[in-house]
Amino acid sequence: MSKKNLNIITIDGPAGSGKSTVARHIADKLGWAHLNTGAIYRAFALLLDRFFTEGSQNLEDLTEEIILKIIVNINSFYSQDDIKHKIFLKSEDITAQLHSPKISQLASVYAQNELVRKYLLPIQRKLVEKYEGVVVDGRDMGTVVFPVAPLKIYLTANSETRARRRLAELQMQNVNVNFDTLLKDLEERDLRDSTRKIAPSKPADDAIIIDSSSNSIDDVVTQILHRFNQI
Ligand code: DC
């Protein structure tokens, strides 16, 4: 990795821990870009969902040939609008479609696949290259994708708090979902993401663990910026 990649802050953590919001705030304060890698896994899941015919979506159907077809599209057409926080595939704005409960679960299911992770890894590294500094958020940013990052955060919170935050976010996007279903989905996804064989969601050995259950997003941002100024 080039020296430029040292201007990276990684923020990993479970669903709804506030990592994307925190990452965006930090990027804004530092004048850096923000790469939300969950959105890449979600875009992959959305494209795959479109590709498969109804009723045949399961991991066994996922051949390398199909993965490569989808990856070509992600590689050539995926982009994030840092200012408006929108995600595009070619000129299609897919932001609203990425956060449905179905795509959340599919992204987590397909993220277990070794080949999916193998092909998405270089795409994530390439996406940050054009920026002076980037805050990246996901599950394996500090452990696998950017292990040389000088500041690594693992942001967590209890599952009720995370489900409440997710509910508020989804309501703002006009996605209709009930709290108990959301909590169950989130816990199911966390278990899958943290126990999978490849790149499980976990703090890097040198990560700073922050529990945001009783801290506001602003407090967490301040805490991370303070750490950043010390390195
Ligand atoms: O961060 P998110 O909730 O939007 O991510 C959606 C799913 O994508 C998550 O459940 C697991 C997967 N993911 C991953 O495996 N690795 C990443 N770096 C980011 C997301």
For residue range 81-136, list pLDDT tens digits in order.
Answer: 877 889 999 999 999 899 888 999 999 999 999 999 999 999 999 999 989 999 99
Decide: 38 in ligand 1 pocket, CB within 6 A: yes
41 Cα: distance to centroid of ligand 1 (angstroms): 6
- Other Cβ atoms closer than 10 A to 86: 14
Does residue 173 have a pLDDT over 80? Answer: no
Prediction pTM value = 0.93
Q: Is the separation of the CB atoms in 165 and 18 below 8 Å?
A: yes
pLDDT of residue 211: 94
Round to whole Å and give the CA distance between 24 and 77: 22
45 Cα: distance to centroid of ligand 1 (angstroms): 11
Round to whole Å and give the CA distance between 71 and 75: 6
Q: Is the separation of the CB atoms in 85 and 169 below 8 Å?
A: no
Nearest CA to ligand 1 atom 6: 38
List the structure tokens of 64.
Answer: 């390398």
190 Cα: distance to centroid of ligand 1 (angstroms): 10
Decide: 41 in ligand 1 pocket, CB within 6 A: yes
Q: Which atom of ligand 1 is nearest to the CA of 111?
A: 15
pLDDT band at 4 (very low <50, low <70, confident <90, very high): very low
